[in-house]
Amino acid sequence: MIKRIMLALALLAALLTGCSSGPNYKIDMTKPLYFQKDKAMPFEIKVLENKKTVKGLKVTVEFSMANMDHGSHKAKLTEGKAGTYAGNIQLAMPGKYEAAFTLEKGGEKTEKIINLNVKKPQGIASINGKWITNDDLAFYRFINQLQLEINRESAKKQYRGKQLEEELTYLKSQEKMLDDKNQLLTQIIRLRSMAMLAEEKGHKVDPANVEQEIQKVRNQYSQYTSVKRLIKGYGEEKFWTKERKQYQSIVLIQQVQKDLIAQAKKDNPKAGDQEVYYEAQQKYEDLLVSQVNSLKIVIL
């Protein structure tokens, strides 16, 4: 009996020694995992060792519910940039999970377990935890549709004959873009990202400016019969409530644009307006890229 106890202790000591000498990896979830029924959902981790990212790992994970037995769900992760590893996993239900990761490099395997609370998503994408919903997407589709109607009515007033036919054919082809989810999401992300940047720079929404912009839009839309008909079908009160919220972001962005124009004029006092606006636009796009890269954006 004593020999068996001593042997067990020796084996335990050997195991503990082996564990302590292995890599001390830390796993951070860089993109949260959400649950959708009958759908594999994306997630992403970053692997760190001594606060530095670890590249070149083979990573697999096995999910199991912490308080229920719904079997396990396995996935192999693909290495991305800067020590990130991403994959897709289809889970049985939302709830608390244990995620057991196996990390292998140079023939040496390390196991790490983290606990996750997997929830249902509140939208189709999020920016720093603020959701973009299907309703947001539908509204952007609608305002793009309004712009197409404006272009169509304007073409009928401006062109005749073959030129009109060509213009209407082109506009008809653009209707396919209305249902392009990626394009709609891009529009929303661009707007909200730069509005967030404006707030970070200390800009505030002036309600009077918002109302001025809304009045300009009302005046424009009132000139087009098809646009007025579409807004009435959408629900006028509902539309203008959403449009007013939209223009709160637009007014914030306009302040960033004014700052950039003022800076461009200061940097190039002899430049003409066209050159100034071009320089400001280039800086705006650079700012946008930098801002988007700094935000935690999750697209499901």
DSSP classification of residue 38: T
Strand partners, 77: 59
Strand partners, 131: 126
The tokens for 177 are 């873009």
Do the beta carbons of residue 97 and residue 66 sit within 8 Å? Answer: yes
Please work out, in degrees rounded to the nearest 5, the angle formed at the alpha carbon of residue 298 by the alpha carbons of 293 and 300: 145
Question: Residue 138 has what pLDDT?
Answer: 96
Phi and psi at residue 65, to the nearest 5°:
-70, 140
Q: Which amino acid is at 98?
A: E
Q: Which residues contact 256 (CB under 8 A, 6 or more apart)?
A: 194, 197, 198, 201, 203, 284, 287
Closest residue by Cα to residue 85 from 67, 49, 58, 51: 58
Domain ranges of the chain: 23-118, 131-299
Q: Coil, strand or helix: which one is 300?
A: coil
Give dist(CA 11, CA 4) in Å, integer. 11
Radius of gyration over every alpha carbon of the chain, rounded to an integer in angstroms: 27
Q: pLDDT averaged over consecutive 10-residue blocks of the chain (300 residues)?
A: 39 40 84 90 93 94 85 91 90 93 93 93 93 96 96 94 93 91 96 97 95 96 96 97 97 96 93 94 96 91
Give dist(CA 188, CA 168) in Å, integer. 27
Q: Coil, strand or helix: which one is 202?
A: coil
Phi and psi at residue 6, to the nearest 5°:
-65, -40
Question: Residue 19 has what pLDDT?
Answer: 42
Fold observed for domain 23-118: Immunoglobulin-like (2.60.40)
Closest residue by Cα to residue 104 from 77, 72, 73: 77
How many other CB atoms sit within 10 Å of the CB of residue 33?
Answer: 22
Question: Residue 22 has what pLDDT?
Answer: 66
Give dist(CA 171, CA 149) in Å, integer. 9
Strand partners, 125: 132, 299
Give dist(CA 276, CA 267) in Å, integer. 9
